[in-house]
Homo-oligomer: A and B are copies of this chain.
Amino acid sequence: MSNPNYLPLATGPRLRHSPFFDATCRYGCRIYSVYNHMLLPLYYQSPEADFWRLVNNVTVWDVAGERQVEITGPDAARFSQLLTPRNISNCDVGQCKYVLITAENGGIINDPLLLKLAKNHFWLSLADSDVLLWTKGVAAFAGMDVHIREPDVSPIQIQGPKSPKVMTAIFGDWVQELRYFRFRELDHDGIPLLISRTGWSGERGYEIFLRDGSFGDTLWERVMEAGRAYGIGPAGPSTIRRIEAGMLSYGADMTLEENPFEIGLGRLVDLDQPVDFIGKAALREIAKKGVSRRLVGVQIEGEPLSPNRQFWPVLDVEGGSIGRISSCVWSPRLKRNIALGIVKVGHDRIGTRLEIDTGGTIRRATVVETPFYDPKKEIVKGS
């Protein structure tokens, strides 16, 4: 506990336990976070060792903290469209979409994965905010016939280049045919599941949504057993890998204070659709006026930095405050400090020189392209 990035956390029933909690303890989880009022296992061996296992082999993550909001009822499709600027009218049953949930002013409430289980049956697989309360609040006076609840659904992620082999070994050859952002519901030896080809790693991967928490231990051990031949190991969401991929973390890289255009996700906003989704008027105005700050990739010079515990001020070369770094990590693969942050427009062009206050020490930095690493091209972009 000498590393100040880790603090002793008192547990208790207010911080919920995932159905895989006992398994993650047995497998030696060493560091946790809290996500949607639930303990979220992060690291087992070390952030770096877990990262290498993810990119070279395959890992299993307890991400039950990614709770689901389930929307059903005669108006479920209409209601779901009300919640998001993304046009989901073309979403098939069995398809997932990455969506933003926006407030009246266009601020971002969450960036869940939306799953369409039936014409009027949706899940929002959440980042860390109480979207259950948001959606129930909206429904209170929306005048629509919907039923909203948090079902007994807990995802694990199987991520890494050997994940198709593990998944095929357990569930059969059909997994290899599962297209990106598609899912299938199934009963596996009496365990109710939904399997999607999605994940938060930048690597090939799958999510297994367990639909009955009492099978948590059984499912975990089945995955571990099938994965042994492929070097599987337990891990958690990899800060290194997701920043390499330029993927955003809600609550850090985006919050209620940011809108989709500021964080470079304008492609998820369809202002031309007929539905007046929540935030449409504000987002139309923002689209017209343009934004005053933008999310960028940043490369920070010098020795390896510990991940930022708080936001780090971004300064221009004269020392004036022009933004903040929200996520920073040392990439052992790229051998450099890579970061995401929001800066004033005018300082967001590739190649702009910045200075970062990394907690008292100023480091020089440069705006670079994201993703920092693209496995398809096996080249380092933005370098």
Residues of A within 8 A of B (CB): 1, 5-15, 17, 30-34, 37, 39, 42-43, 103-104, 109, 128-143, 249-252, 256, 278, 307-311, 326-327
Q: Which 7 A-B pairs give the minimum distances between C-beta atoms?
A: A137-B137, A130-B130, A14-B251, A9-B9, A141-B141, A133-B134, A137-B138
Task: Tell me if A33 and B13 are in contact (CB < 8 A).
Answer: no
Are A1 and B10 touching (Cβ within 8 A)?
A: no
Q: Which residue of B lies closest to A326 (CB)?
A: B13
- Give bound CA distance, A5 to B17, whole Å: 13
- Residues of B within 8 Å of A32, CB to CB, are 7-10
**A141 touches which of B138, B311, B327 (Cβ 8 Å):** B138
| Residues of chain B contacted by A9 (CB below 8 angstroms) | 6-9, 31-34
Instruction: Collect the chain B residues with CB atoms within 8 Å of residue A141's CB.
Output: 138, 140-143
Cβ contacts under 8 Å, A142 to chain B: 140-141
Question: What are 22 sample pairs from A and B whose C-beta atoms fall under 8 A apart?
Answer: A1-B8, A5-B10, A10-B32, A11-B309, A12-B309, A13-B308, A13-B309, A13-B327, A14-B249, A14-B251, A14-B252, A15-B34, A37-B251, A129-B130, A129-B133, A132-B256, A133-B134, A133-B137, A138-B140, A138-B141, A140-B141, A141-B143
Residue of B nearest to A4 (CB): B11
